[in-house]
Chain A
Amino acid sequence: DAKTTQPPSMDCAEGRAANLPCNHSTISGNEYVYWYRQIHSQGPQYIIHGLKNNETNEMASLIITEDRKSSTLILPHATLRDTAVYYCIAAIGGFKTIFGAGTRLFVKA
């Protein structure tokens, strides 16, 4: 699985969009990009995943660059409950991966 790189922390104002970047420059053509988040002391929660096209669900949007070397998770209207650690991983054939330290998002009132 390709290695991913994320900033260690980010701030966002409540009600604004939170844009979390992820670099996966060594991603292979058939690896999917997955995003999870983890709120303190809980298990990771699935958010969204995609291969090439941009994806949107009730939680977030995922924008993948055309060369697939990076992606951005967008939380359109961040709330205090979105404060969490966000993990970006690249995976194919399963989830046999190390998640890395992720991005700690602080949503401020």
Chain B
Amino acid sequence: DTGVSQDPRHKITKRGQNVTFRCDPISEHNRLYWYRQTLGQGPEFLTYFQNEAQLEKSRLLSDRFSAERPKGSFSTLEIQRTEQGDSAMYLCASSRLWTGERNTEAFFGQGTRLTVV
């Protein structure tokens, strides 16, 4: 088990460009979450998948953001026409399907730090 992996770790882009981030969850984890974290704040939920189905989106997820998890394994988060306000750390987490039992903690990746200039 190599943990949750995110790529790239850092991304600098010019305003107006599109960017795509990748997340590889822990294998056998059905659920995959995306969060955004700005300086001095905790992670904020953006969206999550159960297998390949995107089940919920936060209102923070504007229409410039899209996420996919095509085969229920890795996921991508794309931001189109980036704005300076998109500068943040984007975190991915995965967990087993929630059963209310002890083993349903979420594990986070190291994040992708996006800087829009």
Contacts and interface: CB of A to CB of B under 8 A. Distances in A.
Interface of A: 30, 32, 34, 36, 41-46, 49, 85, 87, 92-102
B31 interface: yes
Interface of B: 4, 6, 31, 33, 40-45, 48, 56, 58, 91, 93, 95, 98, 100, 102, 105-111, 113
Contact of A98 (B6, B45, B100): B45
B111 A43 contact: yes
A3 to B, nearest CB: 12
Nearest to A35: B105
A96 B6 CA distance: 19
Which 6 interchain pairs have the tightest Cβ spacing?
A99-B42, A43-B108, A95-B106, A46-B105, A44-B108, A99-B43
B33 A95 contact: yes
A68 B21 CA distance: 39
A99 B98 CA distance: 19
B93 A95 contact: yes
Given A43-B108, A98-B42, A102-B42, 17 more contacts: A30-B100, A42-B110, A43-B6, A43-B111, A46-B106, A49-B102, A87-B42, A92-B100, A94-B31, A94-B48, A95-B48, A96-B48, A96-B56, A99-B41, A99-B42, A99-B43, A101-B40
Given A94-B48, A95-B106, A96-B48, A43 B42 contact: no
